[in-house]
Structure 1
Amino acid sequence: MIAALTGMGLSAAAGLNAYIPFLIVALLARFTDVLTLPASFAWIESWWAIAGGTVLLLTEVVLDKIPAVDTINDAVQTFIRPSMGGLVFAATSAAEQLDNSAWMKENAWVGVILGIIVSGLVHTGKAAARPAINAGTLGAGAPVASTVEDGTSIALSLIAIFLPLLVIVALVLLAIALFLLWRRVRAWKKRRQRRADDDPTISYA
């Protein structure tokens, strides 16, 4: 159960930024005893994986804060974030310190599927909201939203590993935040459409 909560939290974090939970898991597994990854996932804590993840994270941090470019980046990340969510879920759910469940270790595919689903849902909410945020703030909201997402991803990752019982609370709060953001985006789109209907000369292309 503990491992599943950890996996869910890390998967949700990957939906916001694929490389933050990956690097946190990799660094903790390599330099601490908090996580001991099974042999099949030991490559995650290798130097080449950490170096590659660091480069990708730096690239993501920059691109995700540039209006319009962030939307393209989200499109590319549609495949990466859910995959990373599945990876970190499977890796941590099989870690000995988190859970002694032989079933979870022998059925890693369950973690992969759950991780993909959780990460995919969070990514979908993020990707859907960002274009409206950019349009509504003339691009000024992109770096702010991206920074908040990165901070949330870090917080979720740490909570998932060190305080897994709080993951459910964190995920509920994240779901509420995404729902409220979705409502605001929807309301903004309706207002924009009404203005366009009232004044045909206005273009929002």
Structure 2
Amino acid sequence: MSVLPLVFTSGWASGINAYAVVLLLGVFGATGLTDEVPASLQRTDVLVVAAVLFLCEVVADKIPYVDSVWDAVHTVVRPVAGAVVAALLAGESGSLPQLAAAAVGGSTALMSHLVKAGTRMAVNSSPEPFSNVVVSIAEDLGVAGIVTFAIFHPVVAAFVAGALLLLGFVTVAFLASRIRRFLRRRARRREERRLAGTGSPWPPR
């Protein structure tokens, strides 16, 4: 059976929480639930590092504005992780199928990361912090559920991941006005801090 559906699904999930993907796949492989996971993802040191970083993400992802900073830092990390995981799943080091899998995993991770980051900007524009926690928990559960489902039903899981990705883009487009308001507010705060540091009056007379 082609590994492409699992590659696509892991890419989508990596764009949301790459550390959870590495941790889940590694555990599933180490416990013998699947033969699709390469030995490199099952190593104890890889699982320990993934678990520690996953816990860091769990905390940072639920704090308003900290989550957006975390997302900005992971704009490169998540797509790279998605590409690496996809390449490892494809096997055959240096082969064309492996390179194609890396491209699919990395690009899918980038797209889902942009959806996640854009959604969080909109959520952070809300005055209360609870929506941020709810969205974060939903993302964590969604990644765990989809990756687990993909181990047993990779094709169906890939269709679900594709539908969620499309729905995410539609949601971000709908929330674009909130995102723009969030960016303007952040720019205004930076300007206020800059003017306060130079001693200039604010607001200007």
TM-score by length of 2: 0.80
| Distance change (3 Å), C-alpha of 1:165 and 1:36 | closer
For 2:8, the equivalent position in structure 1 comes to: 8
| Partner of residue 44, structure 2 | 47
Instruction: Tell me if the contact between 2:125 and 2:179 (Cα under 8 Å) persists in the aligned partners.
Output: no
Aligned AA (1:123): H
- Letter in structure 2 aligned against 1:116: G
Q: Structure 1 residues 29, 189: CA separation in 2 closer, same or farther (over 3 Å shift)?
A: closer
CA contact (8 A) 2:15 2:82 kept: yes
The correspondence of residues 179-194 of structure 1 with structure 2, limited to 5 A, is 179-188=169-178
1:89 aligns with 2:89: no
Cα shift readout 1:58-95 (whole Å, capped 9, x = no counterpart): 0000000000100110011111111111122122223x
Q: Which residue of structure 2 lines up, in the alignment, with residue 201 of structure 1?
A: none
Contact 2:14 2:82 in 1 (8 A): yes
RMSD: 2.7
Contact 2:6 2:158 in 1 (8 A): no
Residue 111 of structure 1: aligned partner: 101
Label 1:91 to 1:103 Cα distance change in 2 as closer, same or farther (>3 A).
Answer: closer
Kindly tell me: are residues 104 and 149 of structure 1, through their superposed partners in 2, closer, same or farther at Cα, counting changes over 3 Å?
A: farther
Question: 1:167 Cα shift?
Answer: 2.7
For the 8 Å contact 1:2–1:165, the answer to whether it is kept is no
Q: Separation in 1 of the partners of 2:179 and 2:54? A: 32
Is structure 2 residue 70 aligned with structure 1 residue 80? no
The runs of 4+ residues in structure 1 deviating greater than 3 Å are 102-107, 187-190
8 A Cα contact 1:18 1:85, kept in partner: yes
Would you say how many aligned residue pairs link Structure 1 and Structure 2?
Answer: 186
Query: Structure 1 residues 81, 90: closer, same or farther in 2, change over 3 A?
Result: same
1:64 pairs with 61, 65, 68, which one? 61
Partner of 2:17 in structure 1? 17
Residue 99 of structure 1 is matched in structure 2 by none
Structure 1 residues 182 and 103 mapped into 2: Cα distance closer, same or farther (>3 Å)?
Answer: same
Does the Cα contact within 8 Å between 1:44 and 1:50 map onto a contact in 2?
Answer: yes
In the alignment, the residues of structure 1 paired with residue 45 and residue 158 of structure 2 have an alpha-carbon distance, to the nearest angstrom, of: 33
| Structure 2 partner of 1:144 | 134
Q: Call closer, same or farther: CA 1:72–1:83 in 2, change over 3 Å.
A: same
Shift of 1:9: 0.4
Q: Is the alpha carbon distance of 1:176 and 1:117 closer, same or farther for their aligned partners in structure 2, counting shifts above 3 Å?
A: closer
CA distance in 2 between counterparts of 1:134 and 1:6 reads: 32
Distance in 2 between the 1:33 and 1:105 partners? 26
Among 160, 178, 186, the alignment partner of 1:170 is: 160
Give the share of equivalent positions with the same residue, in percent: 26
Q: C-alpha displacement at 1:177, in angstroms? A: 2.5
Which segments of 5 or more consecutive residues in structure 2 lack a partner in the other structure? 190-205
AA at the equivalent of 2:79: P
1:159 and 1:105 map into 2 onto residues whose CA distance is: 28
TM-score for both structures, normalised by structure 1: 0.80
1:109–1:189 Cα change, 3 Å:
closer
User: In the alignment, which residue of structure 2 is the partner of 1:32?
Assistant: 32
Contact kept, 8 Å, 1:134 with 1:140, in 2: the verdict is no
